[in-house]
């Protein structure tokens, strides 16, 4: 299983004074991150990958803490990334053993899902990608065969 996590709430981009790369989670986002950690705690996660943006890394730090795994930063998951590079990353992870958690942004995840919907499988809730949500991509024999959207309220992160 591949778990695509949209980063948790990080306040307003317009209100942030510093470099957007360094924008942290707000109070609600930190609560969402803890809920995401709890939601993924029982999964057989082997790797946690994240966009290098602070808000993404901070979203999956609780998963890493609970499962005693490091968070690996991955430029392919950064905001504005080329979807084909993300698709290749998913392909390599789909053929690996165990689950992987990938944290990215509101442009990358929908773009990736659009490609999957066009060429791989039918995704009924395409377009849904609320902050703090999780898309679960089911893998079989190294191929993505299903996609399920988990709204943050379904695991206490709304």
At 86-112, the pLDDT tens digits run: 989 998 999 888 999 999 999 999 999
What pLDDT sits at residue 139? 94
C-alpha Rg value of the chain to the nearest Å: 14
Is the predicted pLDDT of residue 83 greater than 80, yes or no? Answer: yes
Residue 156: band (very low, low, confident or very high) from pLDDT cuts 50, 70, 90? confident
Is it the case that residue 17 has pLDDT exceeding 90? Answer: no
For the segment 99-146, what is each residue's pLDDT rounded down to a tens digit?
999 999 999 999 999 989 988 888 888 878 999 999 999 999 999 999
CB 10 within 8 A of CB 29: yes
DSSP 56-92: HHHHHHHHHHHHT-PEEE-GGGSTT--HHHHHHHHHH
Q: 94, 87, 136, 124: which is closest to 108 by C-alpha?
A: 87
Mean pLDDT for 2-27 is: 90
Cβ atoms 87, 137 nearer than 8 A: no
Q: Which fold has domain 2-155?
A: Rossmann fold (3.40.50)
Where are the chain's structural domains?
A: 2-155
* Contact between 135 and 148 (Cβ < 8 Å): yes
């Amino acid at each position: 299983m591949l778990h695509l996590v949209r980063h948790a709430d990080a306040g307003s981009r317009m209100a942030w004074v510093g470099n957007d790369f360094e924008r942290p989670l707000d109070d609600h986002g930190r609560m969402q991150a803890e809920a995401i950690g709890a939601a993924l705690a029982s999964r057989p996660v082997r790797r946690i990958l994240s966009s290098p943006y602070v808000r993404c890394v901070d979203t999956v730090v609780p998963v890493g803490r609970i499962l005693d795994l490091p968070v690996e930063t991955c430029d392919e998951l950064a905001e504005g990334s080329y979807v084909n590079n993300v698709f290749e990353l998913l392909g390599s992870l789909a053929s690996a053993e165990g689950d992987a958690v990938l944290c990215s942004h509101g442009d990358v995840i929908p773009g990736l899902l659009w490609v999957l919907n066009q060429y791989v499988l039918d995704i009924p809730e395409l377009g849904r990608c609320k902050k703090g949500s999780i898309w679960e991509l089911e893998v079989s024999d190294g191929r993505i065969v299903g996609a399920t959207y988990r709204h943050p309220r379904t695991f206490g992160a709304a």
